[in-house]
Amino acid sequence: MTRFVVVHGFTRRVGASTLAANLALVLARSGLRVALVDTHRQRDSIGPALGVRAQTRAFIDACRLPGAPELLDDRSADFRLPAGALVVLPGGHDAPRPHADPTVSADEITALLGAVTAASSADFVVLDGEAGLHLETMALLAVADVLVEVIEPEPAGHQGSAVTLDVAERLGVPRRRIVMNRAPEAPVPDVDRVVLESAFRVPLLGALPEAPELDPPGEGAFVLGHPAHPWSAALYAVASALLDDEMTARGVVGP
Ligand SMILES: Nc1ncnc2c1ncn2[C@@H]1O[C@H](COP(=O)(O)OP(=O)(O)OP(=O)(O)O)[C@@H](O)[C@H]1O
Ligand SMILES: [Mg+2]
């Protein structure tokens, strides 16, 4: 059964794409079949985050013609995956388009995700969402099994994240989680965890520390380039918590 994991941050540049790409890679390296879909319309985030330039059509074009061949770019060989697979669908064009694209419809997104699932047989489809709360965000949430909402320590964007989590609940997303990026302390001390979880009314999946080496991106997947870095250790912990959630949801292990 394919699970859809939407990674989203309300505020721009909170680190949602970095998390989505590295999480997809870690899941694939654990032996799972993973499809990473970058839903940014005017930018590709997979290239900078993983150091690969996908050769397939961009998300926005794939939405218009989801059934076309070569929907997904198989990057499994790049990362020498022992068992799993990582296929990617890149984000939009770097150059602004002469005519702004109208909003992609929910039906188009749903059809695309159906085609991605059929083409990849993925265990997990990781969806790298754009900042803000748009009609496209709702379309992603409508199919999501898990929302991973990325927040920063500063409360400026917290209200937007709280609204996103609320919308996700109303749309019936079964599992809603927060991850703190650029956390002053990772793991988050218990006292702060309690405050965050009661403020957002969802569990904290984990916290990623500030990692100045992440900026500027572009030298390939951070978890592979810096396996011993605290950010990478925290990322593995987030992936593990996500898989624990999945096992609990399937009734394999108790809560
Ligand atoms: N924990 C961190 N420490 C330091 N830099 C980080 C951290 N997480 C992400 N970054 C850097 O911050 C920048 C923004 O990250 P990213 O593109 O993942 O954010 P985003 O939320 O997807 O942004 P956008 O709104 O542009 O889609 C990147 O240069 C990335 O390398
Ligand atoms: Mg992004």
Please tell me the distance between residue 14's alpha carbon and the centre of ligand 2 in angstroms.
Answer: 8
Ligand nearest to C-alpha 132: 1
pLDDT tens, residue by residue, 180-229: 999 998 889 999 999 999 999 999 999 999 999 988 877 789 999 999 99
The range of the structural domain enclosing residue 183 comes to 3-93+105-248
Say which CATH number the domain at 30 has: 3.40.50.300
User: How many distinct structural domains can be found in the chain?
Assistant: 1
Q: Is residue 113 part of a domain?
A: yes
Q: Is residue 99 part of a domain?
A: no
Please tell me the distance between residue 161's alpha carbon and the centre of ligand 2 in angstroms.
Answer: 15
pLDDT tens, residue by residue, 16-61: 999 999 999 999 999 999 999 999 988 899 999 999 988 899 998 9
Q: Is residue 98 part of a domain?
A: no
Is the shortest distance between the CB of 15 and ligand 1 below 6 Å? yes
Measured by CA distance, the residue closest to atom 16 of ligand 1 is 15
Please tell me the distance between residue 192's alpha carbon and the centre of ligand 1 in angstroms.
Answer: 23
Please tell me the distance between residue 181's alpha carbon and the centre of ligand 1 in angstroms.
Answer: 9
Of all atoms in ligand 1, which is nearest to the CA of residue 222? 31
pLDDT at 111: 95
Measured by CA distance, the residue closest to atom 24 of ligand 1 is 13
pLDDT at 55: 87
Burial class (CB in 10 A: 0-12, 13-18, 19+), 97: exposed
Is the shortest distance between the CB of 13 and ligand 1 below 6 Å? yes
pLDDT tens, residue by residue, 88-115: 999 987 666 656 666 789 999 999 999 9
Please tell me the distance between residue 194's alpha carbon and the centre of ligand 2 in angstroms.
Answer: 28
Measured by CA distance, the residue closest to atom 28 of ligand 1 is 215
Q: Is residue 253 part of a domain?
A: no
Q: Is residue 179 part of a domain?
A: yes
Q: Is residue 255 part of a domain?
A: no
pLDDT tens, residue by residue, 145-187: 999 999 999 999 999 999 999 999 999 999 999 999 999 988 8
CA distance 91 to 48: 11
Average pLDDT over the chain, rounded to whole? 93
What are 175's strand-pairing partners? Answer: 146
Of all atoms in ligand 1, which is nearest to the CA of residue 231? 1
Mean pLDDT of 59-81: 92
- Sorted by sequence, the CB contacts under 8 Å of residue 178 that are 6+ apart come out as 148, 149, 150, 151, 161, 165, 196, 197, 200, 202, 203, 204, 205
Q: Is residue 100 part of a domain?
A: no
CA distance 54 to 49: 12
CA distance 122 to 117: 6
Is the shortest distance between the CB of 97 and ligand 1 below 6 Å? no
How many CB atoms sit inside 10 A of residue 250's CB?
10
pLDDT at 186: 84
**pTM (2 decimals)?**
0.96
Is the shortest distance between the CB of 16 and ligand 1 below 6 Å? yes
pLDDT at 184: 92
Is the shortest distance between the CB of 181 and ligand 1 below 6 Å? yes
Q: Is residue 53 part of a domain?
A: yes
